[in-house]
Amino acid sequence: MKHKPAKLPSCSNCGFRFGEADSYCPRCGQKNHETKVPLKHLLEEFVESTFHLDTKILKTLRYLIFFPGRLSREYNEGKRARFVSPLRLYIFISFLFFLLLNIYTPKNANTAEGIRDGKRAAINFSVAGIYAQELAGLTEAQKDALLAERRIKPTVINTFLISQLYKMANGGMGEFVHGFIKNTSTMMFVLMPGFALIIFLFFRKRTKYFIESLVLSLHFHGFTFLLMSVFILLGLVKTILFVLLTPLVMLAYLFLALRHYYGQGAPVILFKTAAIGAFYIVQFLVLFLGTMLVSVAVL
């Protein structure tokens, strides 16, 4: 049973005398409850304020999964009391997804042994024909000898990238993977408004405010992270099913969401879904490459 702290006779912040019905201070806005509470209550309050986990999450997830576009439409029409806000929902789902991703990442990815073992290695990058596996366990002198043997030109770019690859192959892969996952979560906050802008431009005659498209984008990416979280839990990430199903389900969901939200005919929505998807892929690849380069550069 959730702990409910007792109310106070007066505000501990400004001294205002509370009435019986006052849950918040009319003068300063501070919540009316006892401030000296057990640690358990503080933790409960932190979780509630961060994720707002109550019965609304179940209704929101049901609409998000089974009624594409309907959740966005109801929210943008002002029917918000029954649902978790789009941003809070996205933060909650993405937190779970990246947590699962960190757990799923092989623990030996940061060792030279893990790089050399082709079956266990999660990532085996190459630069100018040199693979991380080849650099694992080498000394600096042996690395230079290998580069000379392969006749790799010592340009500024080659030198920098091979130096970073050498770090990853000899203890830095775990740092790279951790940094890349962290940077990817940041990348999504750039990708979402970019995706919303694409939707806004394609439906500018039917959309009055950009925020409507942003709500659609938040719900779409929330569903995508939820989908990939299920694939991770089912162990399908390294299978061909993941590669085939993820984009197909995403496109189908986007088509249904746009059709329900904007109400245009199926052929028109199908064409716009394909076009929006193409622009989205280009946007995603550019940001993904930039995220990877940043993650490599900061090793």
Confidence check: pLDDT of 213 > 70: yes
pLDDT at 296: 75
Checking if the pLDDT of 215 tops 80, the result is yes
Bridge partners of 215?
A: none
Q: Is 151 left (phi over 0), alpha (psi -120 to 50) or beta?
A: left
Give the start-to-end residue ranges of the domains of the chain: 1-51, 56-114+173-297
CA nearest neighbour of 231 among 221, 244, 218? 244
Percent share of the chain, pLDDT over 90: 38
95 SS3 class: helix
- First and final C-alpha spacing in the chain: 47
- Distance separating alpha carbons of residues 174 and 107, to the nearest angstrom: 8
Query: What span, in angstroms and rounded, lies between the C-alpha atoms of 137 and 69?
Result: 52
- pLDDT score of 74: 94
The C-alpha torsion from 194 through 196 and 202 to 206, rounded to 10°, is -150
Find the radius of gyration of the CA atoms of the chain.
Answer: 25
pLDDT of residue 21: 72
At residue 123 the predicted structure's pLDDT band, cuts being 50, 70 and 90, is low
Tokens of 47: 């979780």
d(Cα 199, Cα 176) in Å, to the nearest integer?
A: 33
- Which is more confidently placed, 48 or 294? 294
Long-range contacts of 4-8 (CB under 8 A, 24+ apart): 4/33, 5/33, 5/34, 5/37, 5/41, 6/33, 6/34, 7/32, 7/33, 7/34, 8/32, 8/33, 8/34
Lowest mean pLDDT among 103-117, 143-157, 243-257, 258-272: 103-117
Q: Convert the pLDDT of each residue in 270-291 to its tens digit.
A: 999 999 999 999 999 999 999 9
Q: How confident is the model at residue 118, as a pLDDT?
A: 47
Mean pLDDT computed over every residue of the chain? 82
pTM: 0.72
Cα distances from 61 to residues 42, 57, 95, 227, in angstroms, run 27, 6, 15, 12
Q: How confident is the model at residue 112 (pLDDT cuts 50, 70, 90)?
A: very low
Where do the DSSP E strands lie in the chain? Answer: 126-127, 130-131
Which whole number is the average pLDDT over 45-74?
Answer: 80
- Region of 195 on the Ramachandran plot (φ > 0 left; ψ -120 to 50 alpha; else beta): alpha
| Structure token digits, residue 123 | 């990532």
According to DSSP H, which parts of 67-105 are helical?
70-76, 86-104
Identify the three-state secondary structure at position 202: helix
Could you tell me which residues come within 8 angstroms of residue 101 by beta carbon, excluding any fewer than 6 positions away?
181, 232
Mind listing the pLDDT tens digit for each residue in 125-147?
777 777 777 887 788 888 878 88
